[in-house]
A = this chain, B = another copy of it.
Amino acid sequence: MDDLTQPLVHGNRRALSRAITLIESTRGDDRLRATALLAELPHRQALRIGLSGTPGVGKSTFIESFGQILTAQGLKVAVLAVDPSSARSGGSILGDKTRMEMLARDPNAFIRPSPSRAELGGVARRTRETIRLCEAAGFDTVLVETVGVGQSETLVADMTDLFVLLLAPAGGDELQGVKRGIMEIADLILVNKADGALRDTALRTVADYAGALRLLRKRPQDPPGYPRALPVSATTGEGLDKAWAQMTELAEWRREHGHLATRRAEQARQWFLSELRAGLLARLDRPEVRACLRQTGDEVARGALDPAAAAAQMLDWLAAARAADS
């Protein structure tokens, strides 16, 4: 049994941090150890909530307030980030724990910044495995946040039980800014900043989104009335209790009707398949293979070899190297 297993299962935060660092490592021996560790951890199930919101919508303040509502009820909350853009912008959106100062100090909360090397496939693996670690460490709720860019929302929805979209109050014309595909995966739309001068605008925005949601095709995994939109204020805390009540109501309904189990089973199967594909392609990353790849690529680039023929030749070479290995 791995040294980390026992303390991690007992909720030791340092062990959890070290386990996450382990699964983020790309070293071969670390990967082997991470796989073995994951395989021996007990299966506990947190409620996994995906949360997306573009910058400026007040996501940090929302997580800070929302997280404290949960911890005040005695729940243990982990916050993870999927941020494929952080590599480019040079800094992690979640790296700065001062973003959520109160929650970061809360003994029942665990905030893990997005890793700095952030390629979408790698982030996906790391986050799925980190969710598993947090669950094994006894967290009841895992919040996976992402910025609304590219395919990160779909990725997050594919590893969580519920998907929440946090939006800013806006004029009706801007509704179109939310892509139809994102609307279709949302379980709950929260319109933030429903306070002060923006309150009326927020309420109108909620009505607009509620209307748009009604136009979507009914999904079998939804109880009557879902997906739905509601106003919240991360600053005053208004609406946050209700949002949490609706999340638990929805999750409970799905659990009772078998939809949660089906969704997780399908997610696990997809995870397995993408791990397998990544594992096959990882062969191309070995130093001796990369040297050969570069050389063959050069021959192709200068026209001495046909791309398809070069690929076939390289596949034979890989198979021979493999056979010689074993």
Contact = CB atoms under 8 A, between A and B. Distances in A.
A220 interface: no
A291 interface: no
Interface string A283-326: 11000000001001110111101111111101100111011001
Interface residues of A, number: 48
Interface stretch (A89-97, A209-217, A266-274): A266-274
B269 A303 contact: no
A39 interface: yes
Contact of A323 (B39, B272, B315, B326): B326
B43 A276 contact: no
Contacts of A35: 306, 308-309, 312
The A interface is mostly helix, strand or loop, or mixed, namely helix
A200 interface: no
A184 interface: no
A269 B301 contact: yes
Could you say how many copies of this chain the assembly holds? 2
Nearest to A23: B308
A276 B280 CA distance: 11
Contacts of A315: 276, 279-280
A87 interface: no
Interface string A96-116: 000000000000000000000
Contact of A303 (B268, B275, B284, B296): B268
A281 interface: yes
A208 interface: no
Given A272-B307, A275-B311, A283-B280, A265 B38 contact: no
29 contacts: A34-B308, A35-B306, A35-B308, A35-B309, A38-B306, A39-B306, A39-B309, A43-B303, A129-B308, A268-B301, A268-B303, A269-B297, A271-B300, A272-B296, A272-B297, A272-B311, A275-B308, A275-B311, A276-B311, A276-B314, A276-B315, A278-B311, A279-B311, A279-B315, A280-B280, A280-B283, A280-B284, A280-B318, A322-B322
